[in-house]
Structure 1
Amino acid sequence: METSKTYDVIIIGGSYAGLSAAMALGRAIRTVLVIDNGKPCNEQTPHSHNFLTQDGKAPKEIASIAKQQVSQYKTINFVDDTALEAVKTSSGFQISTAKGDIFEAKKIIFASGIKDELPNIEGFAECWGISVIHCPYCHGYEVRNQTTGIFANGDNAYEFAKLIWNWSKDLTLFTNGKSTLSPIQTKALQSRQINIVEKEIAKVSHQNGQLQHLVFSDGTTQRLDALYAKLVFKQNTDLPIHLGCQLSESGYINVDDMQKTTVDGVFACGDNTNMMRSVANAVYSGNMAGAMASKELIAEDFSG
């Protein structure tokens, strides 16, 4: 175990939000450590969309270019590791990692993302991010007007179905068990010819991640081109909670317009703070978090 020097900022998470925050800080001549274990949530997604200048590129390609550019700033350091513990100290924060190292910083930025709770359905995980998708703004154009399903129930299903109806009118809602839609919601969906199927799904049949049809527990099947899924998620790390950061009712880290959490000196950005799970939003919020952490440090140095 070794203790490093104190950095200005430690960023936990080195995907789009974390790298964007790092670039802002590097350009502000701040010493930065990015702790990342190389496991982004979109690692099996073949293409990223709705991000100017990068539309249609593979997420890995975007991240690789981003890291190359960020690495040009000599005050930015990277470590391939997982942060396991975070504690407040008199001078800032102390982070302990899975490899046994201890790092210190004046500020912390959590760009750690979220973890989707995939259902225990055969084939679902293999299709996730490819033909079982989460966001119409990220993927909807590519599957527009195709035979489309929605995997959800209750109020979430109703709101999601209304949204997806913009991209496809050949739409079926799969509640994977008894529907919890209200009678009014059910009538509204059916009036738009959105079918509601309450059968339990046993398998997602696919070819290399490309959905072919759903297999139900009764042995029947239904052909689909794409399936949107509204899933439960959890924070990738509990460290913000351990530091006292408040979460929203939906499970996101509460931040203000400057990406500041409810704990002084702690910022958060990217998917862990916002339901708009896009590369563009991650880059924006990371840039803001990095700039605002830098601004706080500058103010503290000036008044110091």
Structure 2
Amino acid sequence: MRFDAVIVGGSFAGLSAALMLARARREVLVIDSGLPRNRFAAHSHGVLGMDGIAGGELLRQAKAQLLDYPTVRWISDTVTDARTSADGFTVTTADGGTWAARKLLLATGIRDELPDIPGVAERWGHSVLHCPYCHGYEVGGGAIGLLGGHAMSVKMAGLLADWGRVTLFAHGMAIDDDERAMLQRRGVSIETAQVVGLAGQAPDLSGALLADGRHIDLRALFVAARQHMASPLVEQLGCVLEDSPIGVLVQVDAQKQTSVPGVYAAGDASVVGNITLATADGVRAGISVHHALVAEDSAVA
């Protein structure tokens, strides 16, 4: 069987794209490895109408609703190979299955590369965080830190001041006079000593340990993890990547099509965002894939 679309990745973007195509009565296959990016967080916040529900529960409900559509098939597996074919694309999974599709949508997400500091990994998603809009309110104010060293650090520190009393750990980055003045106006402290570890009973956090022996009290530490493609398929297919302040993204056009005709991308792999933005991105990609299918069906042979 050749599907109208194979969607690689069954998290928020992939599910949303599949739902649009299912509602257009298109034959869709979703292949998912079961490793969503937000699996480290106990709850998801900022999702309209579902604030505070665990991300895994949101995905479970969405998957169950999607599979009510008769044209949708789901496979729990990892896609290991994807390539163009004479009439579209073929994908191969780890268990040896091969599937054909007219269009391919990559909702494969990204992998977070955490700072190489003892104590960060075991607190990721609990007291070491990446998004204040997702987790800042729950920190509850007080002393919070931001590990700097990247292009957006100063701006991010100014934003974080709405969620607590912020210390920006420069982590080797230079801060000019204008930036220092802005941070001072926002009540942000600057710490130049290197962070060498975290204190507290993980996954909780009590503070940052500095190279000069000091301990800075913290309720939470925000970091901007470097982003890498979670799947090799993007590069395997030859899709062009582009730089962002915190890593690489798949280059897409307004219709979410990559540089490879017929290959689309949605979610964290193509946009810096959260659950809501990934969901919206998937909707846009699913609709674009449907438009492309209709255009082909309507073309004069």
- TM-score, length basis structure 2: 0.92
Tell me, in whole angstroms, the C-alpha distance in 1 between the residues paired with 2:148 and 2:224.
6
Deviates more, 1:203-212 or 1:84-93: 203-212
* Aligned-pair CA distance for 1:210: 2.1
Correspondence 1:256 to 2:253: yes
Which of 9, 28, 45 aligns to 1:49? It is 45
Hey, which bits of structure 1, 4+ residues long, moved more than 3 A? Answer: 190-193
**AA of the residue aligned to 2:195:** I
- TM-score, length basis structure 1: 0.92
Q: In the TM superposition, what whole-angstrom CA distance separates every residue of 1:42-82 from its partner, at most 9, and x where no partner exists?
A: 11201111111111111111011011101111211111211
Structure 1 121/68 Cα, relative in aligned 2: closer, same or farther at 3 Å? same
Where do 1:1-304 residues align within 5 Å?
5-168=1-164, 170-176=165-171, 178-250=172-244, 251-276=248-273, 278-303=274-299
* Aligned-pair CA distance for 1:191: 4.6
Contact between 1:93 and 1:105, CA under 8 Å: does it hold in 2? yes
* Aligned-pair CA distance for 1:105: 0.8
Contact between 1:113 and 1:270, CA under 8 Å: does it hold in 2? yes
Deviates more, 1:189-198 or 1:77-86: 189-198
Tell me, in whole angstroms, the C-alpha distance in 1 between the residues paired with 2:189 and 2:173.
12
Tell me, in whole angstroms, the C-alpha distance in 2 between the residues paired with 1:98 and 1:202.
39
Tell me, in whole angstroms, the C-alpha distance in 1 between the residues paired with 2:104 and 2:200.
42
Contact between 2:148 and 2:173, CA under 8 Å: does it hold in 1? no
Tell me, in whole angstroms, the C-alpha distance in 2 between the residues paired with 1:183 and 1:231.
26
**AA of the residue aligned to 2:167:** T
* Aligned-pair CA distance for 1:265: 0.8
Tell me, in whole angstroms, the C-alpha distance in 1 between the residues paired with 2:132 and 2:272.
13
Identity %: 38
Tell me, in whole angstroms, the C-alpha distance in 2 between the residues paired with 1:264 and 1:110.
13
Contact between 2:242 and 2:251, CA under 8 Å: does it hold in 1? yes
Tell me, in whole angstroms, the C-alpha distance in 2 between the residues paired with 1:269 and 1:154.
25
Give the superposed CA RMSD: 1.7
Tell me, in whole angstroms, the C-alpha distance in 2 between the residues paired with 1:299 and 1:27.
18
Q: In the TM superposition, what whole-angstrom CA distance separates every residue of 1:165-217 from its partner, at most 9, and x where no partner exists?
A: 2333x1101133x3322343234324543222222223222434222212233
What secondary structure does 2:282 align onto? helix
Contact between 1:189 and 1:195, CA under 8 Å: does it hold in 2? yes
What secondary structure does 2:58 align onto? helix
Contact between 1:152 and 1:174, CA under 8 Å: does it hold in 2? yes
Contact between 1:154 and 1:182, CA under 8 Å: does it hold in 2? no
Tell me, in whole angstroms, the C-alpha distance in 2 between the residues paired with 1:197 and 1:12.
43
Q: In the TM superposition, what whole-angstrom CA distance separates every residue of 1:238-295 from its partner, at most 9, and x where no partner exists?
A: 322232322222111122232222221111111111112x111111111111121112
Tell me, in whole angstroms, the C-alpha distance in 1 between the residues paired with 2:187 and 2:24.
55
**AA of the residue aligned to 1:288:** R
Structure 1: give runs of 5+ residues left out of the alignment.
none
What secondary structure does 2:101 align onto? strand
**AA of the residue aligned to 1:262:** S
**AA of the residue aligned to 1:175:** A
